[in-house]
Chain A
Amino acid sequence: MLFLNQKILFNVPILAIGAVVGLAACGQPTTEGDDNARGTPQVTMVGVMVGEQQEKIEAALAPFTEATGIEVVYEGTDTFATTLPIRVDSGNPPDLAMFPQPGLMADFAREGRLVPLTEFMSLEDLQAAYDESWLQLGSVDDVPYGVWYRASVKSLVWYSPQQFAANGYEIPTTWDEMLALGDRLISEDKTPWCIGMESGDATGWVGTDWVEDIMLRTAGPEVYDQWINHEIPFNDPAVENALNLFGEIVRNEASVYGGMVSVLSTPFGDSIQGLFGEDPNCYMHRQANFIEAFLPAEINLNEDVDVFPLPPINPDQGLPILVAGDVVAMFNDTPEARQLMEYLASETPHEVAASLGGYLSPRQGIDLALYPTDLSRKQAEILNNADVIRFDGSDMMPGAVGTGTFWSGMVDYVGGTDAATVLTNIENSWPD
């Protein structure tokens, strides 16, 4: 066989290899960077908003380009947390990045990759624009790095005002009133809560939000901060107490629709739908403001659905609100990037985004009348009136805990594992 036709045998691999190398050569981006050479000043920005959200942020950025002639190239990605560190490590960071949680931003700030805001913005301006809590959340070691673009309010209980009116239920203002309402519903053969925790490989975060909210309401913001910074162990009695209060609701088969199996297998976006209809599956649903996007299309946002803040437990702690949000920080110190950062801290982009809906601004002084629905106006009011603001704790913890064992621990807890075991497992997984 080897002697059949040496010519053919030799030529085939040559052509094949030649083709591969040739293709590889033309795959090289040789004209990248021409855009800048063309002369239009540019700022690049990476964020997690894609699809409809991306259109909204581009609309919010449009006045900037109109006023300055600086083109903003926004790139939305759903693999932000994995691709951004790679881009930064390889020396190709975007000018600005919009972080969905401040933890990753803090890492970059400590590595000295980010430009502190105070190098080009005055602290007074920043303080005028943002409430102290938000400024603190965007600071690392008391140096401000982040401009908050978008807020989400997590401590919301959703309900159907028609159902509440028809049955004569009152909006609970304390935790005990809320539990009493639950008991009354159970005695009327109804189910108080809908909880859905399924979220692919992120299953469990719904539970962590609950526990964080309860921690803020029982132990208060100082203990909460110690908890997320691991200054108290994860299995501290304060956490166990919070987990057990969550358990009183979620592990009680009568108080949550469908019981444990349903909680674990219902996608988080579907469970709110149980509130609606002639004979609803449940009457209350605790979820962040973004769940609005998952409401059925026929729901009228001004009439059919309403929210109240998750009530306080310990009156000494006032009404704390758990938040999340997107914060912009600057990698490359260019004049264009500075201008864009200043613009993002100004009122214009927040006002444009607010009027487009599905958005809450963390900035002060945004006219509530701009929000297109009563619902978003009410959420903005709850956010503005909060006694205490704390950021989603699991987003602040190391990844192995915050998006790892804390999530899976909540799944185990709902599935029946006792609180002490769950918390000890999480404590043991905290990286040194």
Chain B
Amino acid sequence: MACFFSKLICYESFGKKEIQSVTEVMMEFWARLLNVVLAIAIGCGGVIGLFYLANIGINALPKPWNRRLLPWVYISPALLLLSAYLILPTVQTFYLSFFDGRSQNFVGVQNYIFAFSDPAMLEAFRNNLLWLTLVTGVSVSLGLIIAVLVDKVPYEPIIKSLIFLPMAISFVGASVIWRFIYAYKPAGADQIGILNALLVTFGFEPVGWIVEQSVNNFALIAIMIWLYTGFAMVILSSAVKGIPEEVIEAARIDGANSWQIFWRITIPMIRSTILVVSTTIIILVLKVFDIVFVMTGGNFGTEVIASRMIKEMFNYRNFGRGSAIAIVLLIFIIPVMVSNIQRFRAQER
């Protein structure tokens, strides 16, 4: 439809052609509209009919079989979609990871050797480890501390909303915001970045936050902590509120102070929630790419695994290496994912 409207505008701007074309275009519009209505009717009707028939067919089957087959009929579209969009691409990626850059010659495990020995990859592994420890550690502990401290305080909702707010911003959006915060101008020029403006006001030299290798990784990590502390806080806070009042009262009667209650009661009772939040953040951190891509493009020693994967795949068009890195990333994520799901199930029970 968009095509039709733009074409109409385009015809109008041509002037002379306008009159004869508009009727022609209107005809086409109605034809297309009819086409759409028919497509929806046949599509929807066809699928409903198909399921209806399958249902009748299965119900006609002998007793134990209809119960067994029924779920598969209903789950099959989902299974088909899942294999088309998840399983097949994964298998394909795994297959391609044993071929050269143009996916033509078999090269064995050479791409994996590259993935674990290339200096840029080693730097990416080191940085990812730093990201994992710092983002997970800081955002979960900060989230927990805030959740416990603001628990039952009158202005709790305001504080929590403020901290949760960055969650609504996309990684790219957040990175753009932080680019301004970290912006650098040489000493003597007007600083447009707030951090450097503060430094200069207090008489220090401006710092190239995303260029200086001693600070830039931490500067990027801070962005993700800013984004995900709110997420950890909200979930941990609901877990903290779920601790039965009687348990805490009993502890107080036994003479426990707040510190002891925090370590001996709160933490053990919400342990599985902490683990679920941590594993969720670990998975997010392993996939981190946008922040690095927007802030530094992987330069100045800030490369991470996912940004390296994108570079190998799309900048250098080396499908073998790109696929191998993707598989390495997948293998790292699987155990975390499994434990995340297990914990989540345990918690639900």
Contact = CB atoms under 8 A, between A and B. Distances in A.
B211 A264 contact: yes
Contact of A261 (B101, B212, B314, B317): B212
Contacts of B47: 14, 17-18, 21-22
Contacts of B317: 399
A25 B300 contact: no
A265 B184 contact: yes
Given A14-B51, A18-B47, A261-B184, A415 B213 contact: yes
Contacts of A22: 39-41, 43-44, 47
Contacts of B294: 200
Interface in A187-229: 200-204
A30 interface: yes
A25 B74 CA distance: 21
A370 B288 CA distance: 51
B311 interface: yes
Contacts of B137: none
A3 interface: no
Contact of B211 (A15, A31, A261, A281): A261
Contacts of B211: 260-261, 264-265, 415
A403 interface: yes
Nearest to B35: A30
Interface in B10-50: 28, 31-32, 35-36, 39-48
Nearest to B47: A18
A262 interface: yes
B255 interface: no
Please report whether the interface of chain B is mostly helix, strand, loop or mixed according to DSSP: helix
* Interface size grouping (class) on chain A: 35 or more
Interface string B316-346: 1110000000000000000000000000000
A399 B184 CA distance: 30
A68 to B, nearest CB: 16
* Interface size grouping (class) on chain B: 35 or more
A411 B299 contact: yes
B186 A258 contact: yes
Given A13-B74, A18-B47, A411-B300, A265 B40 contact: no
B77 A203 contact: no
B36 A26 contact: yes
A91 interface: no
A259 B298 contact: no
Given A261-B184, A399-B317, A25 B42 contact: yes
Contacts of B101: 431
Contacts of A19: 44
A166 interface: no
Which of B183, B314, B316: most chain A Cβ within 10 A? B316
B39 A18 contact: no
A82 B208 contact: no
B170 interface: no
A404 interface: yes
B297 A202 contact: yes
A416 to B, nearest CB: 9
B96 interface: no
Contacts of A15: 44, 48
A431 B111 CA distance: 13
B55 interface: yes
14 contacts: A14-B48, A15-B44, A17-B47, A18-B48, A21-B43, A21-B46, A22-B44, A25-B39, A25-B40, A31-B32, A200-B294, A261-B208, A262-B208, A399-B317
Across the A-B interface, give the 5 residue pairs with the lowest CB-CB distance, nearest first. A258-B186, A201-B297, A22-B43, A261-B208, A400-B316
Given A18-B43, A399-B316, 16 more contacts: A15-B44, A21-B43, A21-B47, A31-B28, A82-B314, A203-B297, A261-B184, A261-B211, A262-B184, A265-B183, A400-B318, A403-B315, A404-B316, A408-B298, A415-B213, A431-B318
